[in-house]
């Protein structure tokens, strides 16, 4: 039986931290499912760590649907969340927002979607949740707005910015969001927001006080070597293991040792 949004709320109420990982393919989903990861986020970060783009902006809905469907086939226990990509949702076009989010569930096999933005996204959240589509919010560093933010910088450093982020979080909760990702914000602000909300917060570079944590699969397991975020912890160095295995394969083929 899959994890549900209600399970996540109960985990917060019970003081149980929520581990979340990104995932982009069938094989990885099977492995993470067997490790009992309760939430798999098919993040638009796949644009960078899988497709080699410099940002998440080139990611399309078709790309997200393809990857999410693969993850859904590999997982039977995790709550699967599709990250709605850049320009696929807007308070100025609610019909398209609903249509795109509905495809995430109907075609991608996700159980929920994630979108970036604060109070200005309330109409979108209300539209989607009103149609039965669970929505996760995303505040702080919002990668789809990277050109507007001027780079990957810590957010919520001024008093005004902190108050606005808290207000945004409360607005998203009131609109029906089941959880909110807090990315690259001061730990004390993340703690304040977490304590102010009934719904869970999922931190990434936001300190230890959130209801749960999310890491990018390729960062956590040492597969992506182009750039390692300061907030990421490498729980393995699989790139080294794969590189050595590949070299051994080359050596054995050249030497006639494989096949035996």
**Per-residue pLDDT tens for 170-182?**
999 999 999 999 9
Query: What is the tally of structural domains in the chain?
Result: 1
Round to whole Å and give the CA distance between 208 and 162: 18
Is 104 domain-assigned? yes
The full length of the chain comes to 260
- pLDDT tens digits, 40-83: 999 999 999 999 999 999 999 999 999 999 999 999 999 999 99
Is 187 domain-assigned? yes
Is 37 domain-assigned? yes
Catalytic residue among 62, 107, 183, 252: 183
Q: What is the reported pLDDT for 148?
A: 85
Q: What is the reported pLDDT for 155?
A: 95
Is 146 domain-assigned? yes
pLDDT of 90 higher than 80: yes
Is 260 domain-assigned? no
Q: Domain of 10?
A: 5-255
Is 180 domain-assigned? yes
Q: What is the reported pLDDT for 150?
A: 78
Is 224 domain-assigned? yes
Average pLDDT taken over every residue of the chain: 97
Q: Annotate the chain with DSSP letters as a single string.
A: ----HHHHHHHHHTT--EEEEE--SHHHHHHHHHTT-SEEEE-TTHHHHTT--SSSTT--HHHHHHHHHHHHHH-SSSEEEEEPPTTS--TT-HHHHHHHHHHHHHTT--SEEE--BSGGGHHHHHHHHHTT--EEEEEES-GGGHHHHTSS-----SHHHHHHHHHHHHHHHHHT-SEEEEES--HHHHHHHHHH-SS-EEEESS-S-SSEEEE-HHHHTT---S---TT---S--HHHHHHHHHHHHHHHHHHT-S--
Is 169 domain-assigned? yes
183 is catalytic: yes
Round to whole Å and give the CA distance between 89 and 85: 8
pLDDT of 117 higher than 90: yes
CATH label of the domain that carries residue 228: 3.20.20.60
Q: What is the reported pLDDT for 82?
A: 98
């Amino acid at each position: 039986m899959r994890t549900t949004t209600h399970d996540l709320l109960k985990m917060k109420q019970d003081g149980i931290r929520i581990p979340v990982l990104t995932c982009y393919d069938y094989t990885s989903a099977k492995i993470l499912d067997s490790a009992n990861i309760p939430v798999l986020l098919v993040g638009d970060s796949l644009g960078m760590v899988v497709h080699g783009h410099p940002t998440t902006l080139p990611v399309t809905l078709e790309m997200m649907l393809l990857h999410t469907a693969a993850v859904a086939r590999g997982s039977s226990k995790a709550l699967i969340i599709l990250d709605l990509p850049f320009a696929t949702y807007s308070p100025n076009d609610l019909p398209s927002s609903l249509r795109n989010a509905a495809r995430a569930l109907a075609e991608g096999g996700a159980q929920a979607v994630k979108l970036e933005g604060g109070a200005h996204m309330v109409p979108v959240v209300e539209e989607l949740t009103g149609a039965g589509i669970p929505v996760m919010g995303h505040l702080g560093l919002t990668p789809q707005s990277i050109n507007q933010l001027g780079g990957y910088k810590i957010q919520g450093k001024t008093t005004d910015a902190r108050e606005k982020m808290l207000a945004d979080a409360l607005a998203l909760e009131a609109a029906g969001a089941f959880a909110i990702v807090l990315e690259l914000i001061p730990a004390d602000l993340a703690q304040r927001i977490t304590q102010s909300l009934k719904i869970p917060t999922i931190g990434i570079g936001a300190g230890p006080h959130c209801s749960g944590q999310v890491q990018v699969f390729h960062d956590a397991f040492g597969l992506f070597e182009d750039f390692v975020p300061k907030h990421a912890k490498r729980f393995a160095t699989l790139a080294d293991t794969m590189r050595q295995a590949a070299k051994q394969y080359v050596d054995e083929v050249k030497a006639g040792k494989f096949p035996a």
